[in-house]
Amino acid sequence: MTAAPDGAPQEHPSWLWRNPDPKPSYDVVIIGAGGHGLATAYYLAAEHGITNVAVVERGWLAGGNMARNTTIIRSNYLWDASAGIYEHSLKLWEGLAEALDYDILFSQRGVLNLAHTLQDVREGIRRVNANRLNGIDAEWLDPQQVADVCPIVDISPDTRYPVLGATYQPRGGIAKHDHVAWAFARAADAMGVDLVQNCEVTGIDVDRGRVAGLRTSRGPITAGKVALCAAGHSSVLAGMAGLRLPIQSHPLQALVSELLEPVHPCVVMSNAVHVYVSQAHKGELVMGAGVDAYISYAQRGSVHTIERQMSAALELFPIFARAHVLRTWAGIVDVSPDASPILGLTPVEHLYINCGWGTGGFKATPGAGSVYAHTIASDAPHPLNAPFSLERFTTGALVDEHGAAAVAH
């Protein structure tokens, strides 16, 4: 170590958040203390001065998809609407540790999206061109340039999935998921938001088309506004308010390996072969698999999904054949028909919805939180989430991101 930091880090605070019982009434109740829920609470308090807020959580803080994702952050989506919201999010990521005064291990090590077919190449280049027009740092790399960025990728042409090129976003990267959640939780709590754990919502009361309150395992709560933020469980919750959502809940699996010396410098994703790989600071490989086909709320998937993913991963990274898988798990992702999120108002007055992020919600955590807070506070969508309304499935104004988001984050 060469440059020692000037001064030892301050000790950790004695507590990070309170563990309050729910009050009988709040201005806003957010359902789901995952990353999005906690971020929404934070921005409601920090940017809109709304602090009489509860985040109710069935289990423990950030124990759902937030604890289960592969932490990839990028903004290189195809359509203007997507680019807008994801780039907004990426800009927030870039100042988030400072804003929240909490380390989130944000590492902008660059994200490669590999192309294996001519179709991938065309889609990749189309996305790069669109990204650049949207002010997003995107590059198209040929196979040799891919190897320059990530020397361990096999770019030889005789593999089953030859690398024909890649899109590259240098500002993309990873962050430590748990820290992100805890950072938002701590900051929200400090401004007076109640984080209520072990509190399962059992009913949503609607009175003459307007949300009135919640019934929970810890008693009824009246609420001026209710904001759903429950990812894979959104359909069940929306059903309590009489809504049917155009989303389906599927298992999404991921895994980590045992620790390896640093060998993988960036994030590599490959939609065509259902793989994404990064190496965390500690040394473990973090890999995501594809979505299992069937609907499930079980937080488990099928091994063949992982087998197929590993088969493709080792074609790209033969170096990892001898690495050991330490742990696999699954989250429940909520997939929308156009692979884009649903974020905005609902037909029930003062009931708001944030769901449909599919496999890619983590990267949107601060961005979604900030525009969702705006939507809740002003009872109208922010320009950045206006295109992602529930209504678009009736008006037909879809934002098809299957190319950029179908599988990978």
Partner 1 sequence: MLSVPCPWCGPRDETEFSYGGQAHVAHPAEPDALSDHEWSDYLFVRDNPRGPFAERWCHSAGCRRWFNAVRDTVTHSFLAVYRIGDPVPEIS
Partner 2 sequence: MTAVSARTGMTLRLEPQPGEVIDRNRPLEFTWNGQRFPAYHGDTIVSALAACGERIFSRSFKYHRPRGLLSASFLDPGCTVQVGDEPNVRGAHRRVEPGMVVSAQNVWPSLRYDVKSVNQVVGRFLTAGFYYKTFIKPQRLWPAYERVLRRFSSGGVVAKDSAHGYYDKRYAHPDVVVAGGGPAGMAAAVAAAEAGAAVLLVEEEYELGGHLRWGDAGQLEALRELRAAVAAAPGVEVMTNSVVNGRYDGNWLGIVQRNLPHVVERLVKARAKTLVVAPGLIERPYVFEGNDLPGVMLSTGVRRLVNLHAVKPGQRAVVLSANPEGDAAIDDLARAGVEVAKVVDGRRGPTIQRATGSRGVQAVECADGTVVDCDLLVTAVGWTAPTALLNMAGDRPVYSERAARFLPSLLPDDVLVAGGIAGDGPLEQLTEHARAVGREAAGRAAETARSLCAGIPQIAERRAGPPDPEPAVALPELPVEDHPALFFSGTRGFVDFSEDVTAKDLIAAAEEGYDSIELVKRYTTVTMGPSQGKLETVNAVAVLAAATGRTIAETGTTVWRPPYAPITLGALAGRIFEPVRHSPMQPWHEAAGATPLVAGAWIRPDSYGDPAGEVRAVRSGVGIIDVTPLGKFDLRGPDVPELLNQLYVNKWSRLDVGSVRYGVMCAEDGVVLDDGVTGRLAEDRYILTATSSGAATVQEWIESWLQTERPDWRIHVTPVTTAYASINVAGPRSRELLGRLVEDVDLANEAFPYMRVRVGRIAGVDGCFMWRIGFTGELSYELHVPASHGLRVWEALLERGADLGVRPFGVEAQRILRLEKGHFIVGQDTDGLTQAYGAGLGWAVKLDKPDFAGRTELVWQSRRDDYFRLVGLQPVDGSVVPPEASQIVLGRGIAGRITSSRMSPTLGRSICLGFVAPSLTGPGTQVTVRLPDGGEVAATVMPQHAHFDPEGTRQRG
Q: State the nearest-atom distance from the C-beta of 308 to partner 2, in Å.
A: 9
Q: Does 160 bind partner 2 (CB under 8 A)?
A: yes
Q: State the nearest-atom distance from the C-beta of 224 to partner 2, in Å.
A: 28
Which residue, 341, 321, 350, is CA-closest to 401?
341
Question: Which residue's CB is nearer to partner 1, number 140 or number 393?
Answer: 393
205 near 215, Cβ under 8 Å?
yes
DSSP state letters, 104-117:
---B---EEEEE-S
Which residue, 6, 65, 73, is CA-closest to 33?
65
Q: Does 208 bind partner 2 (CB under 8 A)?
A: no
Work out what residue 191 binds among partner 2, partner 1, none; the CB cut-off runs from 5 to 8 Å by kind.
Answer: none
Which residue, 240, 242, 238, 234, is CA-closest to 341?
234
228 near 353, Cβ under 8 Å?
yes
> Which residue in this structure is represented by tokens 């088969």?
311
CA-to-CA separations, 120 to 87, 112, 126, 156, 403, in angstroms, rounded: 22, 13, 10, 17, 9
Which residue, 203, 191, 241, is CA-closest to 350?
241
Work out what residue 16 binds among partner 2, partner 1, none; the CB cut-off runs from 5 to 8 Å by kind.
Answer: partner 2
Q: Does 303 bind partner 2 (CB under 8 A)?
A: yes
Q: Does 148 bind partner 2 (CB under 8 A)?
A: no
Q: Could you say which residues in the range 82-121 bind partner 2, by CB under 8 A?
A: 97-98, 101-105, 107, 116-119
Question: Which residue's CB is nearer to partner 1, number 236 or number 326?
Answer: 236
Question: Which residue's CB is nearer to partner 1, number 60 or number 297?
Answer: 297
Q: Does 391 bind partner 2 (CB under 8 A)?
A: no
- Expressed in angstroms, the distance from the first to the final Cα of the chain is 34
Site string for partner 2, 209-228 (x = CB under 8 A): --------------------
Work out what residue 319 binds among partner 1, partner 2, none; the CB cut-off runs from 5 to 8 Å by kind.
Answer: partner 2
279 near 311, Cβ under 8 Å?
no
Work out what residue 126 binds among partner 2, partner 1, none; the CB cut-off runs from 5 to 8 Å by kind.
Answer: partner 2
Q: Does 403 bind partner 2 (CB under 8 A)?
A: yes
Number of residues that bind partner 2 (CB under 8 A): 93
Q: Coil, helix or strand for 127?
A: helix
Work out what residue 313 binds among partner 1, partner 2, none; the CB cut-off runs from 5 to 8 Å by kind.
Answer: partner 2
Which residue, 74, 169, 157, 175, is CA-closest to 112?
169
Q: State the nearest-atom distance from the C-beta of 380 to partner 1, in Å.
A: 22
Q: State the nearest-atom distance from the C-beta of 213 to partner 2, in Å.
A: 27
Work out what residue 295 binds among partner 1, partner 2, none; the CB cut-off runs from 5 to 8 Å by kind.
Answer: partner 1
Site string for partner 2, 164-203 (x = CB under 8 A): --------------xx--x--------------x------
225 near 29, Cβ under 8 Å?
yes
CA-to-CA separations, 365 to 1, 131, 305, 350, in angstroms, rounded: 34, 20, 27, 22
Q: State the nearest-atom distance from the C-beta of 297 to partner 2, in Å.
A: 14
Q: Which residues bind partner 1 (CB under 8 A)?
A: 233, 235-236, 244-249, 293-298, 302-304, 337, 393-394
In eight-state DSSP terms, residue 262 is S
Q: Could you say which residues in the range 329-358 bind partner 2, by CB under 8 A?
A: 329, 338
Cα pseudo-dihedral 194, 200, 205, 210, rounded to 10: 50
Question: Which residue's CB is nearer to partner 1, number 109 or number 392?
Answer: 392
